[in-house]
Structure 1
C-alpha cells in the first residue's frame, strides 16, 4: 500500500515537471525552426502548434501514466447568468491587479520595452487571424496546463493551497521569460495569481479560459 502511494506521488511529481518542461520546450521551437526558407509568420504558427502539442502530450500522460482525469477538480456547473457574473468578477480582479502592478513597476522604472513582443505585434498587424489564433492558444493551453493540470497536483504534493498557488503562478511567469524583460515575468506571475485564486474559488476552467482569451485579445488589439 505504501509503495503504491509512493509510486503515485512520483508519478504526480513527474507530471508536474512535464507541465513545466513541455511548454518551455515548445517556447524554444521558434529558435530551432529559424531558417531563411521559413517566413516569420510560419515560424510563429509553428511555435503556437508546439504549445498545443505539449498540451496533448500532457493529456496522454495523465490518461496513460497517471491513469486519472486531466482535470483533477471536477467542473462546477453554473447557470448562464452566474457564469457571466463570475467571468466579469474575474476580469475586474485581473484588471485591478494588472493596473496596480503596472503602477508600481512604473514607480520603480522597470523597463517594459520588449523586442520579442514588438516583433510579434508586427506580425499581428499583417495577420489578424494570427492574433486571434494566438489568443485562443494562450487562453486554452495555458489555463489547462498551469491551472487545470498543474495547480491541483501541486496542492497534493505540497499539501498547502497557498504554496501551490504561488509556485504555479511563478512558474507561469517564468514561461514568459522569452519576452526578455522583468515586466513580462512579473506581469504574467500576477495574472497567474489571480487566475489561480479564481480557479480555487469557482472550480470552473472555462471561466479562466474565456477571461484569459478576452484579456489577451483586448490587450493585443489595442497594441496593434
Structure 2
C-alpha cells in the first residue's frame, strides 16, 4: 500500500513537471491560431500573455488538487526590507555580469542574429507602454513562479540532484524563447535561468526573483524602445 502511494505521488510529480514545461509552450503558440483569422498583432500578444497566466493558474490547481501539496515546495524565507533590497541588488548584479560575459562570448565567436519576432514586439511596445509594462509584469511573475517556484524544486525532488535540476530547468526556460528564432534568444535566457535558479536555491524567496526579473525586462525593453 505504501509503495502504491509513493508511486502515485511520483507519477503526479512527473506529470506536474511535464505540464510546467508544455503549458507555457502551448500558451505562447496559442496566439498564432488567431493570426489566421486576421486578429491584430497587439491582440495576439495580449492573448499569449493571458494564456501564460492561465497556464500558471492550471499548475496552481494541479498542485493543490492532484499533487495535494503547496505550489511552492520550498517554504518562503522572509527577510527584512534592507536584506531584501540587498539580495535584489546582488541578484541583479550577478545577472548583469552573467549576461555581459555571455554577450562578450557571442561577439568573440561572431554569433549574431536579428530576431524578426522580437522586432515586431518592440514595435508594439513603442506604440503601447502599457503593453510593455504588462509584458514585464507577466514575465516576472509567471515565469519565475512556473520555472523556479514550481519546476525547480520538483526536478530536484525527482532527480535527487540539485545541480542537475538547476541546469535542466534553465535549459527548459531557455528553449521557451525559441520562438524568437535566434540562438542568442535561447542561450541568453538559459544563462538568466541559471542565475535565477542558483539565487532561488540560495535565498528561498521567489519575490526577489520576480522583482529582479521584472526590473531586468523593464529596463531592457525601455532601452530598446527609446
Normalised-by-shorter TM-score class: over 0.9
Partner of 2:82: 81
Tell me which residue corresponds to 1:114: 115
Matched residues in 1 for 2:79 and 2:173: separation? 27
Report if aligned partners of 2:99, 2:192 keep a CA contact under 8 Å in 1.
yes
Question: For the residues of structure 1 that align with 2:67 and 2:158, how far apart are their CA atoms?
Answer: 14
Show structure 1 runs of 4+ deviating over 3 A: none
1:3 aligns with 2:4: yes
> 1:212 maps to which residue?
213
How far apart in 2 are the matches of 1:156 and 1:37?
A: 45
1:40 Cα deviation (Å)? 1.3
Q: Which whole-Å CA distance do the structure 2 matches of 1:162 and 1:58 have between them?
A: 24
The equivalent of 1:196 in structure 2 is: 197
- The equivalent of 1:27 in structure 2 is 28
Superposition deviation, residue 112 in structure 1: 2.8
Q: Distance in 1 between matches of 2:156 and 2:130?
A: 37
TM-score (normalised: structure 1): 0.99
SS in 1 for 2:35: coil
Superimposed CA distance per residue, residues 9-40 of structure 1 (whole angstroms, 9 cap, x where no aligned partner): 11100000000000000011121111454211
Counterpart contact for 2:32–2:44, Cα < 8 Å: no
Task: Find the counterpart in structure 2 of residue 66 from structure 1.
Answer: 67
CA distance in structure 1 between the partners assigned to 2:206 and 2:141 by the alignment: 9
- Residue in structure 2 matched with residue 123 of structure 1 by the alignment: 124
TM-score, normalisation: structure 2: 0.98
The alpha carbon displacement at 1:195 in A equals 0.1
- Secondary structure of 2:69's counterpart equals coil
Cα displacement string for residues 144-200 of structure 1 (whole angstroms, at most 9, x for unaligned residues): 000000000000100000000000000000000000000000000000000000000
CA RMSD of aligned residues (A): 0.7
Alpha-carbon distance in 1 for matches of 2:10, 2:124: 43
Structure 2 partner of 1:169: 170
2:75 match: secondary structure: coil
**Secondary structure, in 3 states, of the residue corresponding to 1:76?**
coil
Within a 5 Å distance, the mapping from 1:33-44 to structure 2 comes to 33-35=34-36, 37-44=38-45
